[in-house]
């Protein structure tokens, strides 16, 4: 999955430092990222040596390479859609860009205090924004579930309604106030597909900075009728598909959804990821 960048090591401790010539600076504009396509097709991002902007926001490090957030365009780079990150190699750059996007959105939507309205400032030692009134705000992470509903040798696959992603998906949704993740599984499956589930079991989790989520993956067994009643506001379609009818997942293996569909296709859904 996107976060699996071993043997490289992601360090999210907030230990700001001055940028070096080899560090990477991410610049975003709406749902676009500043990048350049190299001759070999690889996506490149501005290096510290190319960036004239003096004040940059330190984000995190991968091994000894630091990543920063900038706000100014850089010569010879252009803004491209965020979805280009999903094809980015090496994979650690894809993960870094996604995580930087998560932080960019948090900084952008918390420039002013939600308590008194004054401008927020970055805490000196914590990954947090603080206000003179005492309000302290940490990065917003939204928990959500991905559910592989199993019916014998079939799995419930869906396609979203009105979204950019048109591939196969699974039932998914955000946890609500006062819910356990398992409660969310039961509610979302009923709301989106109109079926009940039992024997809910955890599979794996994934940070998904494209939507500021922490995704929690579960498999569950159908409990009762297999008749599907979709929520047309959320889904374009939903259907039971057997293992032998599923195509191998190649392009979407970065995501927890793609990993879960491929895991089911291979008959390994009972093997929890460590």
CATH of the domain at 27: 3.90.79
Q: Which residue has the tokens 């859904």?
A: 269
Residues 98 and 190: their CA atoms lie apart, in Å, by 31
Is residue 191 domain-shared with residue 252, that is, in the same domain?
yes
Q: Measured in whole angstroms, how far is the alpha carbon of residue 134 from the centre of its chain?
A: 31
Pair 76, 27 in one domain: yes
Mean pLDDT in residue range 111-118: 96
Query: Among 109, 130, 165, which residue terminates a domain?
Result: 109
Nearest to 147 by CA among 269, 268, 267: 269
Distance CA 257, CA 171 (A): 9
Over the stretch 47-60, which tens digit does the pLDDT of each residue have? 999 999 989 999 99
Distance separating alpha carbons of residues 109 and 100, to the nearest angstrom: 14
99 and 176 assigned to the same domain? no
Q: Is residue 273 in a domain? A: no
CATH number at residue 240: 3.90.79.10
pLDDT band at 274 (very low <50, low <70, confident <90, very high): low
Q: Which domain range does residue 16 map to? A: 10-109
Residues 43 and 104 occupy one common structural domain = yes
Is 271 among the domain residues?
A: no
> How far is residue 96's CA from residue 101's CA, in Å, rounded to a whole number?
9
Residue 250 has pLDDT above 90, yes or no: no
91 and 183 fall within a common domain: no
CA dist 157 and 243 (Å) reads 11
Which of 109, 127, 162 is the last residue before a domain boundary? 109
Looking at the predicted structure, is the pLDDT value of residue 106 above 80?
Answer: yes
* 205 and 94 in a common domain: no
Q: Residue 119: inside a domain, yes or no?
A: no
Token representation of residue 240: 């039971």
Averaged pLDDT score across all residues of the chain = 92
Which of these, 150, 272, 266, 139, lies nearest to 203 by C-alpha position?
A: 272
CB 71 within 8 A of CB 27: yes
Instruction: Lowest mean pLDDT of 90-94, 190-194, 214-218, 262-266, name the range.
Output: 90-94
Measured in whole angstroms, the distance separating CA 192 from the mean position of its chain's CA atoms is 21
Question: Within a domain: residue 1?
Answer: no
Residue 51 and residue 152 in one domain:
no
Task: Judge whether 258 lies within some domain.
Answer: yes
128: in domain: no
Last residue of a domain, one of 109, 131, 152: 109
Sorted by sequence, the CB contacts under 8 Å of residue 8 that are 6+ apart come out as 62, 63, 92
User: Is 90 a member of any domain?
Assistant: yes
Please tell me the total count of domains within the chain.
Answer: 2
Euclidean distance between CA atoms 121 and 129, whole angstroms = 5
- DSSP lists the bridge partners of residue 147 as 171, 218
Same domain for 149 and 259, yes or no, is: yes
pLDDT grade for 195, boundaries at 50, 70 and 90: very high
Averaged pLDDT for residues 78-88? 86
Pair (97, 187) in one structural domain: no
Position 25 in a domain:
yes
Of 84, 112, 95, nearest to 24 by C-alpha is 95
Domain check: are 147 and 247 in the same one? yes
């Amino acid at each position: 999955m996107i976060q699996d960048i071993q043997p490289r090591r992601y360090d999210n401790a907030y230990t700001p430092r001055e940028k070096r010539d080899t560090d990477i600076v991410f610049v975003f504009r709406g749902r676009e990222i500043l990048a350049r396509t190299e001759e070999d097709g690889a996506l490149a991002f501005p290096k510290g040596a190319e960036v004239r902007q003096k004040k940059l926001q330190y984000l995190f490090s991968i091994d000894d390479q630091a990543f920063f957030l900038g706000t100014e365009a850089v010569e010879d780079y252009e803004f491209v859609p965020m979805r280009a990150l999903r094809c980015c190699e090496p994979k650690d750059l894809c993960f870094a860009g996604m995580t930087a996007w998560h932080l960019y959105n948090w900084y952008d939507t918390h420039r002013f205090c939600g308590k008194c309205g004054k401008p927020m400032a970055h805490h000196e030692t914590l990954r947090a924004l603080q206000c003179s009134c005492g309000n302290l705000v940490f990065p917003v992470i939204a928990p959500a579930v991905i559910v592989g509903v199993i019916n014998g040798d079939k799995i419930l696959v869906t396609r979203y309604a009105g979204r950019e992603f048109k591939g196969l998906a699974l039932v998914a949704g955000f946890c609500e106030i006062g819910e356990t993740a398992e409660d969310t599984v039961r509610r979302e499956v009923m709301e989106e597909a109109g079926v009940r589930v039992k024997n809910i079991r955890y599979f794996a989790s994934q940070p998904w900075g494209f939507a500021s989520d922490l995704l929690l993956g579960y498999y569950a067994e159908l409990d009762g009728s297999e008749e599907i009643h979709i929520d047309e506001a959320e889904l374009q379609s939903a259907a039971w598909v057997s293992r032998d009818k599923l195509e191998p997942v190649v392009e979407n293996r970065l995501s927890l959804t793609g990993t879960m569909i491929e895991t089911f296709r291979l008959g390994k859904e009972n093997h929890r990821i460590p």
